[in-house]
Amino acid sequence: MFLGTKSVGEYALNILGQNVSRVTTGKKPYDILFLHEATKQDFDKKKTEFTFPGANRSYLQSSNTDVAAAAAISIAATEMKTILPKDLTPEKYNKIYLPGDGSAGLLILPT
C-alpha cells in the first residue's frame, strides 16, 4: 500500500523492489494498492522506465547478477497490478500483505 497523495517521487524502484524476491523464486508479484488515483497513474507511468523489451524469466538464471536483477525488476513492473481501494472486493482479494507491519500471519493489525 502506498499512501502518497500526488506522486511516488523517487520510490518507484523501491516499490518494484519489494517484489523482486517473489519474481526470482517464480512467484507472482503482489499487487500494490494506491489510495489516490493520481499516485497510481504516476507509478504506472514511472514503472515503464524499469521495463526492458524481451526480458523474461530465463534471464533470472543469468550468472550476471545485473542481468538477473534487471530482469526481475522488469518482470515485476510488467506483471504487478496497481489497484485502488474501490478494486478491493472479497471476490478478488481475500488477503492483503502489508510489508513492514511486523505481524505476519495475524488476522488483525496491531494498534
Task: Identify whether 19 is part of a domain.
Answer: yes
Per residue in 17-32, pLDDT (tens digit) is 989 999 999 999 999 9
Task: Identify whether 93 is part of a domain.
Answer: no
Task: Identify whether 61 is part of a domain.
Answer: yes
- Domain carrying residue 59: 9-87
Please state, in angstroms and rounded to a whole number, the distance separating the CA atoms of residues 9 and 81: 19
Per residue in 44-70, pLDDT (tens digit) is 999 999 999 888 999 999 999 999 999
Total domain count, the chain: 1
Task: Identify whether 50 is part of a domain.
Answer: yes
How far is residue 104 from each of residues 34, 75, 111, measured CA to CA in Å? 21, 25, 14
Please state, in angstroms and rounded to a whole number, the distance separating the CA atoms of residues 68 and 81: 21
pTM for the model = 0.79
